[in-house]
Copies of this chain bind each other. A is one copy, B any other.
Amino acid sequence: MTVRRLQYFVAVADELSFTAAARVLHMAQPPLSMQIRELEHELGVDLFRRGPRGVALTAAGQALLPEARQLLERYDLLPLVARRAGSGEVGRLAVGLVPSAANGRLPGVLHRFRGKFPDVHVSLVEDRPAELLRQLDAGHLDIVLQYSPPVRPAHGGRVLAEEAFVVALPPGHRLAARRSIPLQALAEEPFIMPMRHGGEGLYERIIKLLADHQVVPDVVQSDIWLLQTIVGLVAAGVGLSIVPESASVIRGGEVIYRPIAAQLDPVPLVAVWRLADESPTVRRFVAEWA
């Protein structure tokens, strides 16, 4: 029993004539008769009663017809299912985020992506960079957004956005009067550091930035997971901190953001994925940032 034989069967059942069905199927009548006869032989039952002027369905044929129709419908849809999944129009996308990356353009990108591909289920996971990369390799994540380019050959990456660092100050702070803050000025200030989680994260970026300018910060608070919390502590007057520019939308009135008075490398936000997959869903998600 093949799909084609079922198609032949349905055609003959529709036309109630071998000759007419053969015309519809763009084939000669004898092979059609053969195929139907073969099908009947395989099934062990007659599907048609042959008459001199056309054919009629037997009980078995009547029972088989709707089943065959349903099957052929599903069968015809299979290529579509595969192609849609292959082109990334359906499926799932698990995005891993370094905590501080959950800001800036991400909400807008997510919104547009979900609008374009409503059949793709997007899930967000927030964790430390090392853990995210582990889950990426394990296949639990499809893409990781972090602040450093991929270091493993199995990973592909692309810079999604570049952000400058800014200094976050409480309003009324003496440095708030200046338009830009020299890094050296921070040495004399109480400083708030984010969570340190190994690899090249926000913590390491800031440490390196300060070290490059021979500044030793007076850390009064550290190991903060979320940028929101850091900004909150700044607003409360605990100290000041360095955050990505995109964080400056947080607590507009209560915290002052000032650029750093130095020529700095911008911080890249990098998407990392498995090269082995090259999932079109991932490609489309990355393309959304362009």
Contact = CB atoms under 8 A, between A and B. Distances in A.
Contacts of A61: 82
A68 B77 CA distance: 11
A27 interface: no
A58 to B, nearest CB: 7
A241 interface: no
A263 interface: no
Interface stretch (A18-26, A40-48, A189-197, A254-262): A40-48
B84 A63 contact: yes
Given A59-B88, A74-B71, A82 B45 contact: yes
B78 A45 contact: no
A77 B63 CA distance: 12
Interface stretch (A101-109, A158-166, A170-178, A273-281): A273-281
Interface string A1-43: 1111010000000000000000000000000000000000011
Given A2-B2, A49-B276, A86 B59 contact: yes
Contacts of A3: 1-3
A202 B84 CA distance: 69
A43 B81 CA distance: 10
Contact of A58 (B51, B75, B86): B86
Contact of A45 (B64, B77, B86, B276): B86
Contact of A74 (B51, B60, B67, B276): B67
A59 B63 CA distance: 37
A82 B85 CA distance: 34
Interface residues of A, number: 45
A121 interface: no
Given A1-B75, A59-B88, A71-B74, 12 more contacts: A2-B2, A58-B86, A58-B279, A59-B85, A59-B86, A60-B83, A61-B82, A63-B85, A63-B86, A67-B78, A67-B81, A71-B71
22 contacts: A1-B79, A6-B78, A42-B79, A43-B83, A45-B86, A51-B276, A56-B276, A58-B279, A59-B86, A59-B277, A60-B82, A61-B82, A62-B85, A63-B86, A64-B85, A67-B74, A68-B78, A70-B74, A71-B71, A71-B74, A71-B75, A71-B78
Interface of A: 1-4, 6, 42-47, 49, 51, 56, 58-64, 67-68, 70-71, 74-75, 77-79, 81-88, 90-91, 276-277, 279-281
